[in-house]
Amino acid sequence: MKLSRLLLTAVISTLFVSCGAKWTTDYDAAVKAAQKKNRDIFLVFTGDDWTDNSIPFKENILNKKEFLSRYSKDYVFLNIDFSQGEFAKTKVADDASDAEKKAAEKIAAEYRRKEVLGRNYSVKVWPAVYLCSAEGYVLEQVIFDADKDTACTVEEYCEKVEAQRSKSAELKVLVEAVRSAKGVEKAKAIDELVKASNPRFSDLYRDLIFEFPVLDAENETGRLGFYELAGAYYISYDATTKNEDPAKPFLDVIETGHLVPDQVQEAYYMAAYSLINGEKFDSALVTEYLEKAYTTNPAGPNAMKILQNLQQMKRFAELEKIQAESDGE
């Protein structure tokens, strides 16, 4: 009876910490809550069952009452945990029941979503901590120090967080400008935000990148071509995943007439590059796009690199021709 009470107490304590912490594991729910409550997001990526530091970091810092009470009015707490145990549940036997297969697919879909988030936030270390806007844009990263952050006091870690918060003030102003502006003024605000942000997190601005051409269709900012070309990268990537032509988005954006010579050169080069790395390799098309890339702007900053690639491609095409003739004999 005494042992049962101890176990019950342990379970209740665990639940209390979990509930009191107010951590969510649902990214979309965190964004929605942050926007509703006008808060930022304190985002942490962890690997609880395979990294040495994730659980100690949570126990010593993140789940402590002092930490949570200090930041609960400013942040929605979001934890994305990459669990090997969870991933193992995506694999079921061939003779598994429909319910088991459905449950496994649900977990697999959730894990794929986490992998996308990991790429978007350029996660390189575990744990990884980010101070984000309500939209999920990175305001600052709190770089994890394995030697210090699992052994420091809550107050010491809060000092580290505060140092990064102070650096994020300018970016927060730019995010707010995007929220409040409309039309061309919003396009200008988007441009300022994108230029001020770390390029590592550019994928987080995908929606804004596609919105920009709608807001500034007349190119009043002079930046329409930049955003159309940026959008072409995303469309090309999506085309690759669907086994569609990855070069077409780059060729289409050239036809808009909004690109400056350097951007036209980049678009032709990327059209060639996308075919080299795609399923349908066509040496003649790759050569054609590389030639157009070079001749578009022979004095451009990347012209020599493109010319070298073009020469290599021509040599490859010659070898390909010789091989074909040899096979035909």
Please write the tens of the pLDDT for every residue from 85-126: 888 888 888 888 888 889 888 988 999 999 999 999 999 999
Ranges for all domains in the chain classified under CATH 3.40.30.10: 2-167
Q: Which of 35, 301, 202 is nearest to 190 (CA)?
A: 202
CATH of 173-328, one of 3.40.50, 1.10.10, 1.10.3470, 1.25.40: 1.25.40
Q: Which of the two residues, 87 and 184, has the higher pLDDT score?
A: 184
What is the distance between the alpha carbons of residues 168 and 284, in angstroms, rounded to a whole number?
A: 49
Q: Which of 3-7, 218-222, 249-253 has the lowest mean pLDDT?
A: 3-7
Residue 12: band (very low, low, confident or very high) from pLDDT cuts 50, 70, 90: very low
Which pTM does this prediction carry? 0.84
Alpha-carbon dihedral sign for residues 56, 60, 63, 68: negative
What average pLDDT score do residues 36-65 get? 95
Domain with CATH 1.25.40 in the chain: 173-328
Question: Which CATH number describes the domain made up of 2-167?
Answer: 3.40.30.10
Quote the crossing angle between the two packed helices 303-328 and 261-276, to the nearest 10°: 30
Share above pLDDT 90 across residues of the chain, in percent, rounded to a whole number: 72
Lowest mean pLDDT among 52-56, 89-93, 100-104, 277-281: 277-281
- Rg of the chain over Cα atoms, rounded to whole angstroms, equals 25
